[in-house]
A = this chain, B = another copy of it.
């Protein structure tokens, strides 16, 4: 069975066989996690590093008044928390959105990898920088785009990322997101997300089966969103 994490790292930096093996070995300890389960909570101290192997999750912060702001979506291959390995404590929480398989890499092993494998370290750093780039793009969306543009832009981002990891077939992509989750990610109300999605559905860009969203026309979404994928930094992607 292929390892989404190893595949992702490999797409960032060409790996020698032994690097790949070491990385694979580090992912030996896999846990199955149910949906809507907190992997880490804000304030937690360093523990093992988590890596998504399967399923979706999100980073989020809770506000004192009870609101939730999602600040990132995690897909197979994504790191959960280099942060906590390097910083003092988590400044946000991470929860699964779907049932998930998560590799738990002991902190010491991660440190050993970083110490001994400069190629890997470099790749980790790059993933970090790309994550940061995505955060900047979110800020642009929230600051300067209308609700429909924001939704469309998020869909474009998720579509592009899903495609990179082989989750797109025939230009169609299923997203395991509720309207509430989208609202929490974009700073909108669920009610308004509902109205916006209706528009996108009427425009033929998306479809909507129970429990999941389906992107049916990514080109049109990109048009609505004014989407430019340069920030995902996939141009120099290794081709197999």
Contacts and interface: CB of A to CB of B under 8 A. Distances in A.
A135 interface: yes
A208 interface: no
A230 to B, nearest CB: 6
Contacts of A231: 91
Contact of A87 (B88, B91, B130): B130
A166 interface: no
Interface stretch (A17-25, A59-67, A198-206): A59-67
Contacts of A42: 230
Given A142-B142, A142-B143, A226-B63, A86 B135 contact: no
A143 B59 contact: no
A33 to B, nearest CB: 22
A139 B135 contact: yes
The count of identical subunits is: 2
Interface in A84-112: 86-89, 91-92
Interface stretch (A1-9, A48-56, A121-129, A169-177): A121-129
B129 A59 contact: no
Contacts of A154: none
Interface in A133-160: 133, 135-140, 142-144
A152 to B, nearest CB: 14
15 contacts: A61-B136, A63-B140, A64-B226, A67-B144, A71-B140, A83-B132, A86-B125, A87-B129, A87-B130, A91-B137, A92-B136, A125-B128, A135-B139, A142-B142, A144-B187
B136 A230 contact: no
Nearest to A133: B91
A183 to B, nearest CB: 10
Contacts of A144: 63, 67, 69, 187
A115 interface: yes
A233 interface: yes
A34 B129 CA distance: 28
- Point out which of A86, A118, A136 has the most chain B C-beta atoms below 10 A from its C-beta: A136
